Amino acid sequence: MATSPGSDIAFASQKSMPSENLRTKKLPLSEEEVFYMNCRAVYLTVFKSSLENIISKDQLYLALQHAGRNPSQKTIDKYWTPQTAKLNFDDFCVILRKEKPTSKAELLKSFKQLDVNDDGYILHTDLYKFLTKRGEKMTPEEVNTIINLPNINADGKFDYIKFCKLYMTTSGQCLKTALERLQVDSKQRRQQFGSHMEELPARDPSSVLKPSPRILRNSDQETLSNRGDPRASLLSTARKFKASVTCTISMAANGNQNAKLTEPNLKDWPGVQSRGCFFLEDDGETVSHQYRLHMAQRSTVHLTIKPLNLSQVEGKLSPWSSVDTALYILKENEDQVDPQLVCFTDLQHREGFGWTGELTPGLYRLLPSTSGCRLRKERTPEPEEAQLVCRDDAGDLFLTQAFKAALSDVFDVIDLDGNGFLSLEEYNFFELRTSGEKCGEEAWLLCREHFDTKKNELTRQGFMDLHLMEANDREGDPCDLWVMLRAMGYNRALELKEACPFVIDLHAERCKPRLKAVRMEASRGQLEKATCQSVLLQGEARAMDGYENVLVHTRSWDFRITSVIENKSDNKVIIHINNELSKNCVNNRGLNVFAVEVAPQSSMDNAPRVKRQSFLFVQVCQHVMPLNEHQEWMHHCVYSLISS
DSSP string, 171-203: HHHHHHHHHHHHHH-HHHHHS-BTTB-SSPPP-
Instruction: Estimate to the nearest angstrom the gap between the alpha carbon of 264 and the chain centroid.
Output: 38
Contacts of 83 (CB under 8 A, 6+ apart): 214
586 — alpha (psi -120 to 50), left (phi > 0) or beta?
beta
Over residues 478-487, the mean pLDDT reads: 95
Instruction: Identify residue 469 by its one-letter amino acid code.
Output: M
pLDDT value of residue 198: 38
pLDDT digit string (tens) for 52-86?
A: 889 888 888 888 877 878 788 888 889 999 999 99
- Which among 306, 356, 354, 329 has a CA at the least distance from the CA of 530? 329
pLDDT at 212 over 60: no
Distances in Å between the Cα of 14 and the Cα atoms of 18, 133, 166 are 9, 37, 18
E strand or H helix at 390: strand 389-391
pLDDT: which is higher, 140 or 503:
503
Confidence of residue 616 (pLDDT cuts 50, 70, 90): low
Single-letter amino acid code for the residue at 95 = I
Q: Quick one: which of 310, 341, 328 has its CA closest to 371?
A: 328
Using the predicted structure, report yes or no on whether residue 98 has a pLDDT greater than 70. Answer: yes
The b/e string for 248-278 (b: 16+ C-beta within 10 A; e otherwise) is ebebeeebeeeeebeeeeeeebeebebbbbb
Residue 522 and residue 285 in contact, taking contact as beta carbons nearer than 8 Å: yes
Looking at residue 557, its amino acid is W
Degrees, nearest 5: CA angle 508-510-516: 45
End-to-end CA distance of the chain: 19
* 0.85 exceeded by pTM: no
pLDDT given for residue 171 in this prediction: 73
Question: In angstroms, rounded to a whole number, what is the distance separating the alpha carbons of residues 344 and 126?
Answer: 53
Which DSSP string corresponds to 490-539? Answer: B-TTS-B-SEEEEEEEEEESSS--EEEEEEEEES-THHHHHHHHHHHHHS
**Any idea which of 33-37, 325-329, 465-469 has the lowest mean pLDDT?**
33-37
